Amino acid sequence: MSEAPSTALVTGAARGIGLATTRLFLAEGRRVAMIDRDAEALEVAAAELGDAVLPVVCDVSRPDEVAAMGEKVRAGLGRVDALVNNAGVADFGPIAEHDFARWRRVMETNLDGVFLVSQEMLPDLRASRGAIVNIASISGLRASTLRVAYGTSKAAVIHLTKQQAAELGEHGIRANCVAPGPVDTKLALAVHSREIRAAYHDALPLNRYGSEREIAEAIVFLCSERASYVTGQVLAADGGFEATGIGLP
């Protein structure tokens, strides 16, 4: 009897890094639950990818929607072997102008969403002795101006990942983080000014933005058996940013 193909759940899968990750998982024969709150974009993305994907509309910051999503994924896909908490939002601005509503919007998706989805999928991951990859950012590794909420949320995701690694290892679950450098996605286009873009190009050892695919490769590696003894780590896929000690622009 042949074994069922392995599965993955990717949040924020309708576009950007999440969509690129979905494509790589499909290429290695996994079936993928694509989770996003943007119903229209999700429908368009999933329609191109065929029967091996299960699109589920869900706002990861809402406990009721996350619980319903978990049920749909278990019914439609079966047990989840790999979880990629990728959904994220960015909002850059000076501390004085970051009112509480802006702060909360960032925290709700970037931090609460990782906690909620991981907790919902925990029984599956225990059963599969699976892997979690949370998407942080170089903004979570280094402080700089304008990123009070975004940078703090990503630093918290890094610590949450270490907590998961520490506590869930006994169930065979590995938890790691990918910290991307700048990537040309809708998210980056919204917050990277012309000055920020130019500064990144000059300062990064590789002198360019990364591609969605390059980040996805790091994510898929950490989910795979090739990383079977790696847990609690942050893999910076960042064009050399972290190695240089340069400041974030």
Q: What are phi and psi of 211, to 5 degrees?
A: -100, 160
The DSSP letter of residue 112 is I
User: What six digits make up the tokens of 166?
Assistant: 């520490």
Which of 58, 122 has the CB closer to ligand NAD? 58
Which of 144, 228 has the CB closer to ligand NAD? 144
Is 186 a binding residue for ligand NAD by CB under 6 A? The answer is yes
Pair 191, 92: CB distance under 8 Å: yes
Q: How far is CA 31 from CA 7, 150, 161, 217, in A?
A: 5, 31, 24, 17
Q: How far is CA 46 from CA 56, 160, 168, 240, in A?
A: 10, 30, 31, 33
What residue type is 184 in one-letter code? D
* Residue ranges of E strands in 38-109: 53-57, 82-85
Which residues within the stretch 97-126 sit at the binding site for ligand NAD (CB under 6 A)?
Answer: 109, 113
List the x/- string, 128-147, binding to ligand NAD by CB under 6 A: -------x-x----------
Interface region with ligand NAD, contact rule CB under 6 A, candidates 58-66, 74-82, 220-228, 229-237? 58-66
Which residues within the stretch 6-25 sit at the binding site for ligand NAD (CB under 6 A)?
Answer: 11-12, 14-18
Q: What angle do CA 211, 182, 187 make, to 5 degrees?
A: 90
Say whether 200 is catalytic. no
User: What six digits make up the tokens of 215?
Assistant: 């980040």
Is 49 a binding residue for ligand NAD by CB under 6 A? The answer is no
Which of 11, 164 has the CB closer to ligand NAD? 11
Which of 159, 171 has the CB closer to ligand NAD? 159
Could you list the active site residues?
A: 150
Task: Give contact residues for ligand NAD (rule: CB under 6 A).
Answer: 11-12, 14-18, 36-38, 41, 59-61, 86-90, 109, 113, 135, 137, 180, 182-183, 185-188
